[in-house]
Each structure stands twice: as C-alpha cells, then as structure tokens.
Amino acid sequence: MPTAKTADSGPKKLSFRHVWAFCAAILIALTAQLPAPAHANSKYAAVVIDGHTGRMVYARSADRPRYPASLTKVMTLYLLFEELEADRVNLNTRMQVSPRAAGQPPSKLGVRAGTTITVDDAIHALVTKSANDVAVVVAEHISGTEYRFAQRMTTRARSLGMRRTRFMNASGLPNNRQLTTARDMATLAQRVQRDFPNYFGFFSVTEFRFNGRRYTNHNRLVGRYAGTTGLKTGYTRASGFNLTATVERQGKYLIGVVLGGRTARSRDDHMVSILDRAWGNAIAMNSTRTRLASTPMPRNRPGTRTTRYVLASAVTAPLPAPPPQGDTSLDIAFSGPEDLALVDTTTLRSTSLDAESDAFNPTSWVIQVGAYAKPSEAVARIRQAINAAPVLLANAVPVTMPVSSSDQTLYRSRFGGLNETNARKACRELSRAAISCIAIPPHGWGRSASINR
C-alpha cells in the first residue's frame, strides 16, 4: 500500500541521517584528542642557524614576538663580559647586594642584603641557578639601577642586530613589554660566543657550589646531546619553556632556539629533533689558509707613523692593479711570479713570509673583523680596520683566510701577531667605529667557529 511504503521509506532515511551525524560527532571527538602541532601553540617559536655564517637552516615563527624569560640573562652576562673586557671589573670584584636585589622572587641564590658576591660567583649563579637576585646585583653594580641597566641592554641588543627585542629587567621576570624573537635570541647566542671566547665556557658549567650548597645547570642538553657547548634555559607561565643551545660537531656549528615549550622535556626533545634535521644543511669549516697576491693598504691617517704590513691575501682571482699611492712601506707575501704583476716589486721584503709565520704562531692572539663571499670584500674590510685603528694595528699582520665547504667559500679578514692586551684594545677601538671584531686567544684562532660579517 502506498501509505505503508511511504511510512516504511521515511524511517529508513531518518536512520541514515542519524548514523551519519553520529559518525561525524565521533570523528570530531577523536580529532580533538590528537596532540596539537607545535605551530598551534601560540607561545611557540623556533630557529636553527649555522653559527659559522648566520644562515637560517630551520625556522618556525622566527620573528614573532615572544617572552624571553631567563634567556634575558644571556644579555645580562653579555654586558658583564663587556665590563670584564674593559677591565672595569675582574672575576674577583665583589658586588654589593641591595635590599631590592635580595627581595627578588625565585629562582634565586638567596644572597642577603648588605653582603657581597664576586663576579665569578655571579656568573656561575646566573648560568646554573638562573638566579634573579644575582641578575639585579649585576645590573645595579654596572648601571646603578636595574632600569638603567635594562635600557643599556636594549641599546646593546639593537647594536647587535636584535631589532625586535626590548628588555625591561635583567632577570627575565614577567613584564608584558619585555619581548624578543627566536631569531634575536640566536643572534645573541652567536655574538656572545664570538665576542667573548674566553668567557663562553661558563655556559657549559654543569654545577656550582655556593655557601655549602650545590646547584646544577638546568640545560639538560649539556652532556646529553653530543657536541653541546651551552647555553641557557628559561621559564615563566607567560613564556613557556625556553631554550637556547649551541652545538659543534666535526667542523659544523649550530645554534638552536626553542621558545614556548609545553614542558621542559618536550622542549628538549624538540630541540634535539630540529638540530638533527639541521646538520645536513650546516657548513663544515676548515682552517686551511692560502697565501697569494695582496692588495695595497691605505695610507696612514695624518699624524700617524708609517706602518709596514705583511698581507697574505687568500685571493683566488686577480685583483685590479692598485692606484699609485707613493711609498706605503708594505711588506707583501706572494706565492709566485704570476703575482708580481699585481704589486710594485720594490715593496717586497724577504722577511715577509717569516713575519707572517711569526704572527700566526701558537702563542699569538688574532682578531677577526669579518668574513665575506668575495676576496676583494675581505681585503676592503682590512683596509677599513687599519684606517679605524692605525696605531693599535701598526705591528699586526693582516691576512685573509678562506674557509671552504662543498658549496661555498668565505674569506675571513684577520690580523695576527698581537698580544692579548692589544687584541682586546683593537677590538674595542674597532667596535667604536662600528666594525665588528672578535679577539681570538692562542690555540683558538685555528678553529673555524668564529665567523663574523
């Protein structure tokens, strides 16, 4: 009967719709239970850069604003290292603990108001315990107040290329205006190692004893992930779990930053994962130096004495013939007759190769002022450096040194033959002239990790 057919077909259609709706509800419920991808975490950001070149090899939300938490203390330490380099403090200098410093919330060392702490202990406390009270002690010792110190932190950060970072305190305690990015934190890690090779080893310290208590480093990658040399962890509720790590393996050098991890373990595991993926894109540097023809150095500034330089230039293609400059008293190292057309042979000295050898002996300090894709750019940087600090570099030996990988060669601009005092003074003078400079100690300049542009 039509009515029966109609009555029978109606329930069948209704049953199908119910089943479909039920299945859809189950699917939605199951999807909601799946772990959210990292980028769904609004606090998350990550980056890995090649520490030799600064090239980014992995990035997620690298330029999005995030809270640095205790990664802030890396900049606090950067400024403290500057004070050490400038001889305004030494590792035994005692810094006064103010009531304000002593009253900081945890994590803290528990130093009491009216007492003092040495610079050496302060560095260890910042690296291992991530002590907020000690961060304020450092800030007040250097700048008088933490507010003025934070202003200096921001100014210095901008000068390092950290364009999206603002500091409001020295510790990383919550402040809505204290912001950074994963890229900026990677830049800071690269610069603190490059600018302070003598002090960078503090970041690999695994434990610290103070007033009878033992404190361990929160950076679990040190000792767990092969080649890890530092750096720093951080956490607040607003930031999530943060980590910056530096790792070196077989001539390759990576800097990783993870911000906004959900837990310390997941943050560490994610760091290991992105570093593992990045090794294939990192450049292995070697320390081979090639000495070929050079280019003339600029005239001395008026009023300065004539300087005799030895320039061992790693030039793979002939440079243009130099313009006449008169007697510049240059000693130029050369490798063969084909180079003689590039220079005035009357300027060559038989002692030039010996001078270069002496300048790069194992006890010599070296400064580096850049690394460039073209030999001519490396030589131009050497010229700029000599113009900026002619007296301090008067007896230094300028060289350009190639570092090669399978797909790239960079030319490092360096000066050898310096002692520690002159190397550090030269870098300070060059920094004032906006020329990036790193002082490399004996046995350290053979490493290829110090590439700066």
The dihedral over CA atoms of 125, 126, 131, 133, expressed in degrees to the nearest 10, equals 100
Domains and CATH numbers, the chain: 45-281 (3.40.710.10), 310-440 (3.30.70.1070)
Burial of 262 by CB count in 10 Å (0-12 exposed, 13-18 middle, 19+ buried)? middle
pLDDT digit string (tens) for 99-124? Answer: 999 999 999 999 999 999 999 999 99
| Residue 326 binned pLDDT confidence (cut-offs 50, 70, 90) | very low
Count of all residues that appear for the chain in the document: 453
- Kindly state the average pLDDT of the residues 4-27: 52
- Is residue 335 over pLDDT 70? no
Sorted by sequence, the CB contacts under 8 Å of residue 207 that are 6+ apart come out as: 128, 214, 215, 216, 217
- Kindly state the average pLDDT of the residues 67-75: 96
pLDDT digit string (tens) for 339-356? Answer: 222 222 223 233 333 444
pLDDT digit string (tens) for 426-439? Answer: 988 888 877 888 88
Looking at the chain, the whole-number percentage of residues with pLDDT higher than 90 is: 42
Whether omega for the bond prior to residue 80 falls within 30 degrees of 0, making it cis, is no
- Is residue 332 over pLDDT 80? no
- Is residue 442 over pLDDT 90? no
Q: How far apart are CA 231 and CA 201, in angstroms?
A: 9
- Is residue 245 over pLDDT 50? yes
Higher pLDDT, 134 or 200: 134
3-class DSSP assignment, residue 323 = coil
Nearest Cα residue to 105 out of 155, 159, 172: 172
Contact 84, 192 (CB under 8 A): no
Query: Tell me, what's the pLDDT at 23?
Result: 56
Q: List alpha helices for 279-418, DSSP H.
A: 352-359, 375-388
| Residue 412 binned pLDDT confidence (cut-offs 50, 70, 90) | confident
| Residue 443 binned pLDDT confidence (cut-offs 50, 70, 90) | low
pLDDT digit string (tens) for 129-186? Answer: 999 999 999 999 999 999 999 999 999 999 999 999 999 999 999 999 999 999 999 9
| Residue 88 binned pLDDT confidence (cut-offs 50, 70, 90) | very high
Q: How far apart are CA 49 and CA 258, in angstroms?
A: 12
Q: How far apart are CA 126 and CA 132, in angstroms?
A: 8
pLDDT digit string (tens) for 248-288? Answer: 988 889 999 999 999 999 999 999 999 999 998 888 875 33
- Kindly state the average pLDDT of the residues 372-396: 84
- Is residue 28 over pLDDT 90? no
- Kindly state the average pLDDT of the residues 230-254: 92
- Kindly state the average pLDDT of the residues 46-68: 92
Contact 398, 297 (CB under 8 A): yes
